[in-house]
Chain A
Amino acid sequence: MFSRAFWRDVRFLQWLAQIFFLLALAVAAGFLYANVSANLARQGLTVGYGFLKNPASFDIGEASIPYQPSNSYGRAILVGFTNTLVVSFWGILLTTIVGVLAGVARLSPNWMIRQLAAAYVGVIRNTPLILQLMFWYFGIILQLPNVREAIALPGPVYLSQRGLYLPRPQATEAFQAWVPFLWIALFSIPMLWLVFKALARRLGSPMASGWNLAYLIVPAIILWAGAVLQPEPPLTVSVPQLSGLNFRGGMTLTPEFAALLFGLVVYTGAFIAEVVRAGIQSVSKGQVEASRSLGLSPGKTMRLVIFPQALRLIIPPTTSQYLNLAKNSSLAIAIGYPDLFSVAGTVFNQTGAAVEIILIMMVSYLSMSLFTSLLMNIYNSRIRLVER
């Protein structure tokens, strides 16, 4: 098997090295396990997930799913997880808009817009997120006037120190009968796409781009027709109205949620702005010159030539920024928003089950990260440069 002495053969040495490494790992793991058992035995705690069924008996400030203090610890942690998901979802959406706008503004021919965007990026990127969150919460939102004198914006949107109040669509009794029309409208979009593809093949050339409006108009007609056939409109707008000491109706964003959302969006937006700027600048100037010489306006150049090519460079770092946003939402503990980390911390304070709680937290964050990575990698592989 070995052509010479076995202790000089690379393959043997490699196996030996791996066995030593695994042995060292096993010894370390055993040492840690022994310490953990000794320490837990000294404190009289046991390892196990049974505590998750016990009643939580603490209240959670805001919950995306129904929750009572009599629910179990497991339910409380689930509430925290959904809160994190809600903040991450809206955060990712808004920060993309803010980041792309700021990134494009950094390259604007207008000097003032350019300097403002540079100042925004320079200040936000160089200060810690937790400081910005505290500034948003203590320095801005809690300094808003109280409910009676809330700032009113067109909408109507009311800003006060008890929260932000926005109008909200509300389902009426006719909503149930209207839902089939919603499904038909949704279904019509891919049907339209197939129809246009078949027509294009029949005609031998692609359809004019004006036909793309049909994707908006046809579902809108279906929805409107369905709404007209109902006895009453299926959706009304619930408007916040001051009654007594508080606002009724509409959608309420608590100060904690608002501060966390704005802080995360502004912070991550600055990083995404830099990524977008680098991506746009990476497209060679020859592309711009060629498209202008073909007669495309600056707007069309940006939309049809530069941005699709820049997108290839922008997607991977933007993915990691989205992941950073989801992970940074754990800083909600500093301003009192009950996200996963905050609720799990409370559960730990009450039960003392350190190892289990930390495992739950890490598994949750890991699964969020892996899921977001997966989605963005699928999108990335579809727009990636295909090399021969």
Chain B
Amino acid sequence: MTTLEVAPPHVKVGPLGWLRKNLFSTWYNVLLTLLAAWALVALLRPGINWAFQEARWGAIRANLTLFMVGQYPRDQLWRIWLSIYLLMGLIGISWAIWKKAVRDFGIIILVLSAAFSTITLLMSSNTGMKWILATVILLASYFTGGILRGRPRIAWVAWVLYFPIVLLLIAGSRLIPFLPTVDMGLWGGLLLTLVLTVVGNLGALPLGILLALGRRSNLPAIRLFCIGYIELVRGVPLITILYMAAILLQIFLPPGLRLNLVIRAMVGFILFEAAYQAENVRGGLQSIPRGQFEAAQAVGLNGTLTMILVILPQALRAVIPALLNSFISLFKDTSLVSIIGLFDLLRVGRSVLAQSEWLGTHREVFLFAFIVYWGFNLVFSLGSHRIEEALGVGKR
């Protein structure tokens, strides 16, 4: 019996096998891999060189406060720090209560906070101690939050109350002696971006739910109005809505009533985002099987009670992924307020570019803005994934 001469088999396991399978499997894959590798090196090497040697990052370092809070009075910055500490405390408590769901998010915030602490300490900036305090508060609230483990409702209430309290903290009020009002025109930078995002989303959601319900209404007058509003707002760019809010709102209000430009921008964002949220909620409403409506009717609930008690909780649960996506995209869209004259992160960047000391630092400033936006969106995306998983969306 002759034995066949068989060549030894190709390596399929280990790093060599992985290389073979994923990078060099066929001749055109070999070509593509080599081309991509060459392109990467050709682009990255001068880029990294530039970033570490030629780039003038002093433009960022000197104007960091401007980037973060705009023209906010420097002696009132303790209120911003208080908001950050409250947030750290809340995240720590949430982590202690809902361990697994918040774990990845909590770890990322912890790492970021520690990173900021080390960076600011190394740069011997005076915010080093403040970031260390933030990290300590996060860890302390995580370890002591265990006492609340059986009562998540307290955490929910705390989260819901957080946003109005922080807004009050930042804006101040004439009624509170130790919180003098800070004119909204002074808000700027990342602070303004975050405030616009949160207010825009939170304000748009109720309006969006109303519009979605109105679109499904049996009454033709209401239905036509809602459809008309939604299609009109979705068909025009955001910048025209902002322009309208900045210019036309002044004309539509009674003479003598002047609204701050920031409030006008908020109204614009709320009106714009409400149409998109309405479409999301409509998708959720459409996914509710008819059996739910019929069962509610059989139990004796009228239309309104059915909506509030039976349909909306299920529908809103189903559209949470879309809502979180809207949050992320609104965060990016707030950059448009630089066109109507508000000093958000991007506009601050352009004003830094206009400073005579830092002429020509386009790439540094834009890269910084890139990293800030991208980092925040990454953290938001991760948070939204965890929230979806914790709520079991799509699984039950």
Contacts and interface: CB of A to CB of B under 8 A. Distances in A.
Contacts of A328: 237
11 contacts: A14-B219, A36-B251, A39-B251, A109-B29, A116-B36, A116-B40, A139-B366, A331-B239, A333-B339, A345-B243, A366-B235
Interface of B: 22-23, 25, 29, 32-33, 36-37, 40, 218-222, 225, 232, 234-240, 243-244, 247-248, 250-255, 328, 332-333, 335-336, 338-339, 346, 362-363, 366, 369-370, 373-374, 377-378, 381
Contact of B250 (A39, A112, A116, A331): A39
Contact of B251 (A21, A354, A361): A354
A214 interface: no
A32 interface: yes
Interface residues of A, number: 50
Given A110-B32, A113-B32, A32 B221 contact: no
B346 A131 contact: yes
B239 A341 contact: yes
Contacts of A8: none
A327 interface: yes
B17 to A, nearest CB: 13
A35 B236 contact: no
A21 B219 CA distance: 10
Contacts, number: 141
Given A22-B221, A128-B346, A330 B239 contact: yes
Contact of B219 (A17, A35, A369): A17
7 nearest A-B pairs in the assembled complex, by CB-CB distance: A111-B22, A327-B237, A126-B377, A128-B335, A369-B235, A128-B332, A18-B221
Contacts of A181: none
Interface of A: 14, 17-18, 21-22, 25, 32, 35-36, 38-40, 42, 109-113, 116, 123, 126-131, 134-135, 138-139, 143, 323, 327-328, 330-331, 333-334, 341, 345, 348, 354-355, 358, 361-362, 365-366, 369-370
Given A112-B22, A126-B328, A134-B346, 12 more contacts: A18-B222, A21-B222, A35-B253, A110-B29, A126-B373, A130-B335, A131-B370, A330-B237, A330-B239, A330-B240, A333-B239, A345-B243
Secondary structure dominating the interface of B? helix
B374 A130 contact: no
A365 B335 contact: no
Nearest to B238: A327
A39 B258 CA distance: 12
A388 to B, nearest CB: 21
Contacts of A334: 338-339
B247 to A, nearest CB: 5
Contact of A362 (B240, B332, B370, B381): B240
Contact of B346 (A36, A110, A130, A341): A130
A39 B257 CA distance: 11
Secondary structure dominating the interface of A? helix
Contacts of A36: 251-252
Contact of B248 (A14, A17, A355): A355
A109 B25 contact: yes
Contacts of B218: 14
Contact of B255 (A42, A138, A366): A42
Contact of B335 (A111, A131, A358): A131
Given A131-B335, A131-B366, A110 B33 contact: yes
Contact of A128 (B237, B239, B373): B373
Given A14-B218, A38-B254, A366-B235, A135 B366 contact: yes
B33 A112 contact: yes
A109 B36 contact: no
B37 A112 contact: yes
B219 to A, nearest CB: 5
Contacts of B335: 128, 130-131
